Amino acid sequence: MIDPVNYEVELKVKGDTPSEDKLLSLLLIEDKYYPPTERCQGVHCHTYSSKLSTVEVTVGHLSRTVEATIVFQVVEGSWPIQYHGRFVAHMASLDDLEMELVDSRGGTVTTSSDGAIELSRCVVPVEVDGELKLWVDAWHDDDRGIVVGKDQVTFAPGRAGRSVDTCDVGFCKMRVTVAWSLLVNW
Which domain-ending residue is among 60, 84, 104? 60
Residues 37, 109 share a domain: no
Q: Which domain holds residue 101?
A: 65-182
CATH number at residue 130: 2.60.40
> From the CB of residue 89, how many other CB atoms can be counted at a distance below 10 Å?
24
User: Are 152 and 98 within one domain?
Assistant: yes
pLDDT above 90 covers what percent of the chain? 40
- Summarised one tens digit per residue, pLDDT across range 13-44 is 888 888 888 887 787 777 765 555 554 456 67
Q: Which residue has the higher pLDDT, 122 or 130?
A: 122
52 and 78 assigned to the same domain: no
One DSSP character per residue, 3-72 reads S-EEEEEEEEE--SSGGG-EEEEEEEEEE------SS--SEEEEEEE-SS-EEEEEEE---SEEEEEEEE
Domain count, the chain: 2
Residues 96 and 173 grouped into a single domain: yes
Percent of the chain that is helix, strand, coil (3-state, to 5): 5, 55, 40
Same domain, 82 and 156: yes
Q: How confident is the model at residue 114 (pLDDT cuts 50, 70, 90)?
A: very high
* Residues 39 and 73 grouped into a single domain: no
Per-residue pLDDT tens digits for 136-168: 999 887 665 688 899 999 999 988 899 999 999
pTM above 0.85, yes or no: no
Task: Determine contact, residues 49/35, Cβ cutoff 8 Å.
Answer: no
Q: 60, 75, 101: which is the final residue of a domain?
A: 60
Which strands form 123-127's sheet, in the order they lie side by side?
Answer: 123-127, 65-77, 172-182, 161-168
Q: Let me know whether 136 and 85 are in one domain.
A: yes
- One domain, residues 55 and 76: no
Is 70 or 147 the better-scoring residue by pLDDT? Answer: 70
- b or e along 29-59 (b: 16 or more beta carbons within 10 Å of the residue's beta carbon)? eeeeeeeeeeeeebbeeeeeeeeeeebeeeb
> Could you tell me if 54 and 69 lie in one domain?
no
Is the pLDDT reported for residue 82 higher than 80?
Answer: yes
Q: Are residues 121 and 100 in the same domain?
A: yes
